[in-house]
Amino acid sequence: MSWRARPASFVSLMSLYESNYIRLGWLIEDLSAVEGRLISAVDGDCPLHLKVEERSRYTTTVTLTYIFEQEMASLADPDLQIRVYHDARLAEVQSCARWHRHAILESIRSGLARALGERWLRNVMLNKWLDYCVERGHRFGATPALAR
């Protein structure tokens, strides 16, 4: 059953997590082997930053974000923290910025129904953003050419 069939039900939420895992796999060459901080830079889009925050036997927690340079400081947006469950093949957004400064990210979030739970909103946003990032040409390998 597609996660789009019955939005915000438990079954559709699990299907959405599965869809996020698949899309994250399009972006990251080997989810179980990626390490440290990586940057994907493509023409026509902001550099995409990936940081492995935590790794255990069955899970990996990563942060995925753009970094915008402001006058006084850098701003991470959407600053998504994603838990990847390798054994179950699921990826769930654990946290993210509530409001987005990047116009495309805000339009994705604003287009979603406000009555849905935050968990649903965060994960639909991730799903659409992963599609966008892959369409723009972003990719992360296990050993990137560009890393910090």
Phi, psi of 20, rounded to the nearest 5 degrees: -65, -40
**DSSP bridge partners of 68:** 75
Q: What is the pLDDT of residue 114?
A: 47
The predicted-structure confidence for 128-139, as pLDDT tens digits, reads as follows 999 999 999 999
Q: What is the CA radius of gyration of the chain?
A: 15
Q: What is the pLDDT of residue 30?
A: 86
How many residues comprise the chain?
Answer: 148
Q: What is the pLDDT of residue 6?
A: 59
The predicted-structure confidence for 8-41, as pLDDT tens digits, reads as follows 677 788 889 999 999 999 999 888 888 899 999 9
Smallest CA-to-CA distance from 93 within 101, 104, 105, 85 is with: 85
Q: What is the pLDDT of residue 106?
A: 58
In terms of pTM, does the model score above 0.85?
A: no
Residue 123 · residue 14 · CB < 8 Å = no
The predicted-structure confidence for 37-90, as pLDDT tens digits, reads as follows 999 999 988 889 999 999 999 999 999 988 877 677 666 667 899 999 999 999
Q: What is the pLDDT of residue 71?
A: 74
Indicate the domain borders of the chain.
10-136
Smallest CA-to-CA distance from 99 within 77, 72, 75, 73 is with: 77
Q: What is the pLDDT of residue 138?
A: 95
